A and B are shown apart, each in its own frame.
Chain A
């Protein structure tokens, strides 16, 4: 579990490593303390489809839709991406630019950056506004726990999981969620539009 002091520590470490030239961790902004309900209080180190390391809290500052999937999923996950794309299309083009999307994989073992990149290319996702990422199994569990997403790995390495699009505001508070898959959830779109318009 991370706290402000741990985040402070990793920020210093980042500066140090950057100086040494090792690959850098983006440091967590220390501007104001995160709200007590902010998901960004959970430190989740991620690696994206291009192999870059980042932290969940790096997304602070802009509204974010976060969801979870895995690349060898043939049931709902493609629909989740469809739903996300359709939800975005329901917004005005310049409103869309104010939104980030993050999809984190359940499958820590097999979803490496290459597998993620394949999906990003195949679906022509608007990287880097969209990010597909992976993390270690323990962090997958913690992220799913904080987002209220259920999942279970089966003996055949497939995953059963619930589907949810979770909308976070710029400070990481959950402001809306949708379980609708395969269709645009109007309530969710309204909440999204309201958030993006800055009200």
Chain B
């Protein structure tokens, strides 16, 4: 139901101006709004505002990424340069153009760098979601748009962090939240477009550090909602990465601004 025709066919459809079956992936719509982010918008305590946007319902899978790599061989792991993806890019696949038995088609693709993820998204006229878009979407659970105050919501997420990653990744398609987005928690970490805007100190105890030169007019970002560990750990994870890095538990999904597809 979700898996649709190959990307190339869909791009052809786009050119022809076909409407609803244009893109391979399911995108769900989010109206956006103002909300309290762990990263204050003014650097101190301001709320963040998210314009309406669409988000892929699930992380990008091995099958989808394989189609991309086949259509754009410069993104094969044996062709992509080190500046865009580290040496372990797609290392969980058995071959440069075949995920193999260890990386099932419905599992989220991992061992992808930020550049590779951006390239995939650009190919379907999308981009990586911004941190605020991701956080906004991830605040929801199955019944509420903002479940972050619920200790049970936090404990569930913390429990995922605590599980070792020695077992195989699950397939995408977990329980949908109120927006219809799935697997924002409990499956993989996900890249965001502005991962390098998370100006937190490498020593996370230095919140409110008065070194104003550090980040030009700001010390390390003061993270709000310190009791929201589940989200803070995600910030910590993303802030430890460089754009060419990849890890076993890091995947991505794409986002598009607005609620209506632009004319091709």
Contacts and interface: CB of A to CB of B under 8 A. Distances in A.
Interface in A3-51: 3, 5, 34, 36-39, 41-42
B258 interface: no
Interface string A137-153: 01001101110111111
Contact of B242 (A77, A148, A156, A158): A148
Interface string B223-236: 00000000000000
Interface stretch (A58-66, A97-105, A160-168, A188-196): A160-168
Interface in B107-122: 114-115, 118-119, 122
Nearest to B47: A155
Interface residues of B, number: 34
B215 A162 contact: yes
A75 interface: yes
B197 A142 contact: no
A197 B199 CA distance: 36
B114 A154 contact: no
Interface residues of A, number: 39
B81 interface: yes
A146 B243 CA distance: 7
Given A3-B74, A152-B194, A160 B213 contact: no
Contacts of B118: 1, 142
A71 to B, nearest CB: 13
A149 B41 contact: no
Nearest to B113: A145
B115 A1 contact: yes
A151 B81 contact: no
Interface string B203-237: 00000000011111110010000000000000000
B135 interface: no
Nearest to A179: B214
B133 interface: no
B217 A160 contact: yes
A130 interface: no
Contacts of B221: 152, 160
A135 to B, nearest CB: 15
A5 B215 CA distance: 38
A41 B81 contact: yes
A161 B215 CA distance: 5
8 contacts: A1-B118, A37-B82, A142-B115, A144-B196, A148-B243, A152-B194, A160-B218, A162-B215
Given A145-B195, A152-B194, A154-B41, 16 more contacts: A1-B84, A1-B115, A37-B81, A42-B84, A75-B217, A76-B216, A142-B118, A145-B114, A145-B242, A146-B115, A148-B242, A150-B197, A155-B42, A162-B199, A162-B215, A163-B216
